[in-house]
Amino acid sequence: MFSRFKKPEPAVAPTATQAAAAPAKPGLGARPMPSSATVRPPAEAAAADKEKKRKERLGDLKQQLHKRLLDSLNLAALEQASEANLKAEIAAISTEALEEMSVVLSRDDRATLNQELYDEVMGLGPLEPLLKDETVNDILVNGPNRIFVERGGKLTLTDITFKDERHLLRIIDKIVSAVGRRVDESNPYCDARLADGSRFNCMVPPVAVDGSLVSIRKFKKEKLGIPDLVRFGAFTEEMGLYLQAAVSCRLNVIVSGGTGSGKTTTLNALSSFIDNTERVLTIEDTAELQLQQVHVGRMESRPANVEGKGAVTQRDCLRNALRMRPDRIIVGETRGEEVIDMLQAMNTGHDGSMTTIHANSARDGISRLENMVAMAGIEMPLKAVRSQIASAVNLIVQASRLQDGSRRMVSITEITGMEGDIISMQEVFRYERLGVEPNGKIIGRFNATGVRSHYSDRFRQWGYDLPASIYEPII
């Protein structure tokens, strides 16, 4: 019935199930698969093949009906139409088109097709269900046929696909054109922010060799506070008390960690301790911070236009922020020459400022700050750079994503000054790994190091007299 509507299909990368079912090729490092994974029961194979063909038929129909919708719908009126009215109109047009094609679909397939058509017209096509899935943190697209999601710190391959590379490029163009940008061979990559605040990055051919690459870091609508993170096991109540005192007493804090380790979430939670009487300015490449204070000014950098003009960098925003009478400045991520202005701000009366950096430990974080200063082209003796860092930064909070996908605050380290040419540091709290459960879950505990905080007197002066017991290690 569908043969006359069928179009040649592009080569499709095997799904995770198919890859597991295929016999392993002999070679170096090849491992024999268990017999249960190499042979699929005939009934299961037939059901999978039937489901694949059903999806292919629906995909062909969706492509044809989408063209019909673009010709039939009044695109200018879409924004004013309600969701119910638009879905009813799409259903009516698709029903008429299917009758003309002499195509009969089951009620479930028709409902699925109409929903996917709505997502194509008003949303981001195949990505729309993933954007609505609250359990998904990241969406990663490696070409039209391989879409991964991250849930609970673990990546999994989905069975969702685009029709072909042109379909994927059309969705990418829809996203970037909504924010006044474009991607093509001359400008093959783009950063943008979706309407819901999610962070979007893409790279298209020829730079992306095997098909366009897309990554979406979803925007979390709920604002996680310190109690939430304690409940999730990110750190302990004692560490929360310490961090509350540190932020309230206006220590300058750097949140350090790798990609996806929870740096922004931690920074958001720490900001909850900032008093509502303070004026806070935030600077980001892509606005993600969700500060809960009354007096917050948000700034976002901007890339250059197609003529190479009009760029507004984080450093430009930071320089202007210093003229806006801020009590605190929060930079979403420091990774370039803006580090100079950030350190100067921390050193010149803007105590309590915070930022994040990419580093694997507190000591690595200091080295990264030194390297960023050097890359900014500032010619300063290394000792002078370190002295500037030691006087500007008070606390480094290290976040990490462990092998089992869990996120932990693995270290809280204070910077106490200079000893000769070396920045002196002391760790106050750490996460100790004790083992691994059979299911791969990390066994560990948070523990104090037994070192009393360098800023204990400052805490007391601000009214935070922390009990000495929080610094006592578990033996």
Instruction: Give me the pLDDT at residue 12, please.
Output: 47
Do 228 and 330 touch, CB atoms closer than 8 A?
no
> 165: number of CA atoms within 13 Å, CB side?
15
pTM across the whole model: 0.73
Q: Are strands 442-448 and 422-436 parallel, antiparallel or unpaired?
A: antiparallel
Instruction: Give me the pLDDT at residue 79, please.
Output: 58
The one-letter code for the residue type at 260 is G
φ, ψ of residue 36 in degrees (nearest 5) = -65, -20
Do 218 and 138 touch, CB atoms closer than 8 A?
yes
Closest CA to 253 of 380, 142, 398: 398
Dihedral sign, CA of 345, 348, 349, 354? Answer: positive
Q: Are strands 199-203 and 189-193 parallel, antiparallel or unpaired?
A: antiparallel
Instruction: Give me the pLDDT at residue 21, please.
Output: 46
Using left for φ > 0, alpha for ψ between -120 and 50, and beta otherwise, residue 111 falls in alpha
Do 448 and 472 touch, CB atoms closer than 8 A?
yes
**What is the strand order of the sheet 213-217 is part of?**
154-157, 147-151, 138-142, 213-217, 199-203, 189-193
Domains of the chain from N-terminus onward: 1-7+42-122 (no CATH), 125-219 (3.30.450.370), 226-471 (3.40.50.300)
User: Between helices 83-101 and 42-72, what is the axis angle to 10°?
Assistant: 110
Number of CB atoms found within 10 A of residue 155's CB: 11
Closest CA to 366 of 390, 401, 336, 402: 390
User: Between helices 338-347 and 362-375, what is the axis angle to 10°?
Assistant: 110
Please state, in angstroms and as integers, the Cα–Cα distance from residue 415 to each residue in 274, 362, 394, 403, following that order: 21, 9, 5, 28
Instruction: Give me the pLDDT at residue 67, please.
Output: 65
Cα(467)–Cα(453) distance, integer angstroms: 11
Going residue by residue through the chain, which has 475 residues, state the pLDDT in tens, using 9 for 90 and above: 333 333 344 444 454 444 444 444 444 444 444 444 445 677 777 777 766 676 677 667 766 776 666 666 655 555 566 767 777 777 777 777 777 777 777 777 778 777 777 777 777 888 888 988 888 989 999 999 999 999 887 889 998 888 889 889 988 988 888 777 788 888 898 888 888 888 899 999 999 998 999 999 887 777 778 888 888 889 999 999 999 999 999 999 999 998 888 898 899 889 989 999 999 999 988 777 888 788 999 998 887 776 778 888 888 998 899 889 999 999 988 888 889 888 988 887 789 999 999 999 999 999 999 999 988 877 888 899 999 999 999 999 999 998 888 899 999 999 999 999 999 999 999 999 999 998 888 999 999 999 999 999 999 999 999 999 999 998 7
Using left for φ > 0, alpha for ψ between -120 and 50, and beta otherwise, residue 257 falls in left
